Each structure stands twice: as structure tokens, then as C-alpha cells.
């Protein structure tokens, strides 16, 4: 597995003003609830991916019908937070992606090309492309910063403005992950608080 995937993270997108409180905000960028839960479904229904990131498949399902565990939701949300922090640094450094970088990720994301291909076959095309770009940006930041990368990660995860909707848990800036709340998460679970989005 690529070193950049020690804490696999996924990109965030902005929400609209009419949305309920987003799943999270990372340096002012909203991660909408629906997009998060769509992403959780991509992960939860991809057993090869869960094995590749060493997330126990039996822990993915929530106790309620048609729900995902808070652990899986927190894992995916923490991933999105991390990729958003990397996206911001990627832009700050003035970096750009090319086809070679994307192909490198698409062919070797999990070390074994056969496993990587099977993981991507379990995604929709759009989500697969999004993940490729997110991972490629993370690797580009790591390559650009070199020996300074570890210190940057520690600072970005600790000092970034990361606000997690309590529905999904809390942000642990030292560990750089979402600490899940108790109970399953479903599409009908009410968000913890409203917002002006």
C-alpha cells in the first residue's frame, strides 16, 4: 500500500445554503450529509476495499436495518477531512495533476494491481475518478514537501478548522480521525443541529 494511504482520506465538496447542517466543515468547506452517506455506501458495499484498508467487514453494518455502523461512517468522514486538508495544501503549493499521476494511483493504489482493479470495479465511475484525484493530490503534496510532510500533517490535522456534526461524532486532532458516537447512522437519522449552510 502506498505510504500516503496510512490514513486513507477522501475529498470534500461544498454544500448549499438550504441544506441542513453539513456532516462537517473543513476550513470553511462543507461536506454535505447526502454526499457523505453516498460515499459510505460506496465503501460499505465494496468488500475488497474494506479488506484493503483493514476495516473489518462485519463492523460496517449498523444494528438497525439498512444502516451503517458509526465506526464506518466516522472512518469515511475522517478520510474526507484528511483529503480536504490535502486538497487545500495542494492548491496552496500551486501543484497540478497529470494523467501519469492518475494512472499511477489507478494501477497501484493498494500495491497489488489486481486488488486495486477489483476495488475500482466496486465503485461507480464518478466516485472512482474522485478517489483517484484525491489520492493523487495527497501523494503530490507528500512528494513536494518531502521530509517536511510529517510535520505538515501533524500541524494540519491539529490546527485545521475541522467542525464535525455531533451526529457523526467528534474530531480528534491528535489522532487525526473522527471519534464515532454511539448508535447506527441511517439516512433518516435527524442531523444534530440546523445551519444556514
Q: What digits encode the pLDDT tens for the residues 38-50? A: 999 999 999 999 9
For residue 12, is pLDDT > 70? no
Q: For residue 125, what are the CA distances in angstroms to 64, 82, 121, 135?
A: 29, 22, 8, 15
CA–CA distance, 77 with 31 (Å, rounded to integer) = 9
Where does the pLDDT of residue 142 fall: very low under 50, low under 70, confident under 90, or very high at 90 and above?
very high
Share of residues in the chain with pLDDT > 70 (%): 82
> Residue 185 forms beta bridges with which residues?
68
CA–CA distance, 139 with 46 (Å, rounded to integer) = 23
Contact between residue 122 and residue 49 where contact means Cβ atoms under 8 Å apart: yes
CA–CA distance, 149 with 154 (Å, rounded to integer) = 9
170 Cβ contact list (under 8 Å, min separation 6): 164, 178, 179, 181
For residue 165, is pLDDT > 70? yes
For residue 10, is pLDDT > 80? no
Residue 30 carries which DSSP code?
A: E
Q: What angle do CA 76, 91, 11 make, to 5 degrees?
A: 15
Look over the chain and give the mean of its residue pLDDT values, rounded to a whole number. 84
As a whole number, mean pLDDT of residues 71-93 equals: 95
4 Cβ contact list (under 8 Å, min separation 6): 135, 138, 139, 142
Write the pLDDT tens digit of every residue in 152-164.
999 999 998 999 9
For residue 102, is pLDDT > 70? yes
Where does the pLDDT of residue 111 fall: very low under 50, low under 70, confident under 90, or very high at 90 and above?
confident
Residue 111 carries which DSSP code?
A: S
Quote the pLDDT of residue 65.
79
Which conformational region is residue 117 in: left (phi greater than 0), alpha (psi within -120 to 50 degrees), or beta? Answer: alpha
Amino acid at each position: 500500500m502506498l505510504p500516503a494511504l496510512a490514513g486513507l482520506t477522501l475529498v470534500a465538496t461544498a454544500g448549499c445554503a438550504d441544506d441542513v447542517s453539513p456532516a462537517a466543515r473543513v476550513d470553511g468547506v462543507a461536506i454535505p450529509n447526502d454526499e457523505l452517506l453516498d460515499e459510505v455506501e460506496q465503501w460499505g458495499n465494496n468488500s475488497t476495499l474494506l479488506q484493503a484498508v483493514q476495516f473489518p467487514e462485519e463492523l460496517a453494518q449498523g444494528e438497525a436495518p439498512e444502516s451503517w455502523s458509526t465506526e464506518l461512517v466516522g472512518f469515511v468522514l475522517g478520510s474526507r477531512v484528511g483529503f480536504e486538508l490535502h486538497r487545500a495544501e495542494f492548491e496552496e503549493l500551486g501543484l497540478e495533476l497529470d494523467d501519469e499521476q492518475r494512472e499511477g494511483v489507478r494501477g497501484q493504489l493498494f500495491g497489488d494491481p489486481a486488488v486495486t482493479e477489483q476495488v475500482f470495479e466496486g465503485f461507480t465511475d464518478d466516485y472512482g475518478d474522485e478517489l483517484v484525484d484525491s489520492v493523487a493530490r495527497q501523494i503530490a503534496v507528500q512528494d513536494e514537501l518531502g521530509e517536511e510532510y510529517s510535520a505538515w500533517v501533524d500541524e494540519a490535522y491539529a490546527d485545521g478548522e475541522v467542525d464535525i456534526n455531533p451526529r457523526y461524532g467528534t474530531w480528534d486532532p491528535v489522532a487525526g480521525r473522527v471519534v464515532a458516537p454511539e448508535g447506527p447512522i441511517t439516512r433518516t437519522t435527524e442531523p444534530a443541529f440546523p445551519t444556514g449552510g
